[in-house]
Chain A
Amino acid sequence: DAGVIQSPRHEVTEMGQEVTLRCKPISGHNSLFWYRQTMMRGLELLIYFNNNVPIDDSGMPEDRFSAKMPNASFSTLKIQPSEPRDSAVYFCASSPNGGKNIQYFGAGTRLSVL
């Protein structure tokens, strides 16, 4: 099993540019989670999906952020336009249903907005 795969691992962009982060969950997992991690705010849940449907997006900071899950094997987190305060490590995690509640994390995407 390849685990949760995120791309790119590192992204450097300029303020105002669109940024798209990608995630491939573990095959067979029904839930997918996007997190943001910074020194100041720690680990924050942005949004999560169950069976490709967004369940809770209350953690999405503002309208500049959007997430999609068009199918069970792919999700994107988009920031448009990006701002320097969006600089962080973004993690994707997936989880099987059935009450196990174990999440498997990707290696993360380190985003730097200049």
Chain B
Amino acid sequence: GDSVTQMEGPVTLSEEAFLTINCTYTATGYPSLFWYVQYPGEGLQLLLKATKADDKGSNKGFEATYRKETTSFHLEKGSVQVSDSAVYFCALSGLSGNTGKLIFGQGTTLQVKP
């Protein structure tokens, strides 16, 4: 079945460092891909998305490119801030028609130190 695999955390970086969080997926068909972020004490919120191969999603300085050939959707940011400390979830749209069901990875915790 469809699945998402993320790199294990926690990822600990110093402020202004470059961030990469790896995400690979297994899916039949052509799913949409998403990154969600969960700040402490809050629910998940959409960070960015890409709906077809070679699309690049971007938001708040974060970027991810839908790579069909490598089945990947790695999250990157050029210079992280302490406020980026959160849990990041990669997800893909399931084969459920238009119901909005998503399949989430296990989440990667990012800790940014000043």
Chain A contacts to B: CB under 8 angstroms: 4, 30-31, 33, 42-43, 45, 48, 50, 55-56, 91, 93, 95-108
A33 touches B101 (CB 8 A): yes
Chain B contacts to A: CB under 8 angstroms: 32, 34, 41-46, 49, 89, 93, 96, 98-102, 104, 106-107
Closest chain B CB from A102 CB (angstroms)? 6
With both beta carbons as reference points, the residue of chain B lying nearest to A43 in the complex is identified as: B104
A residues less than 8 Å from B96 (CB atoms): 55-56
With both beta carbons as reference points, the residue of chain B lying nearest to A97 in the complex is identified as: B98
Query: Of B34, B42, B43, B101, which is within 8 A of A31 by CB?
Result: B101
B44 touches A105 (CB 8 A): yes
Q: Which 6 pairs across A and B sit closest by C-beta, in order of nearness?
A: A95-B100, A105-B43, A101-B93, A31-B100, A50-B99, A97-B98
B residues less than 8 Å from A45 (CB atoms): 101, 104
A residues less than 8 Å from B102 (CB atoms): 101, 103
A residues less than 8 Å from B89 (CB atoms): 43
A43 touches B43 (CB 8 A): no
When chains A and B are docked, how far (Å) is the Cα of A97 from the Cα of B99?
6
A residues less than 8 Å from B107 (CB atoms): 42-43
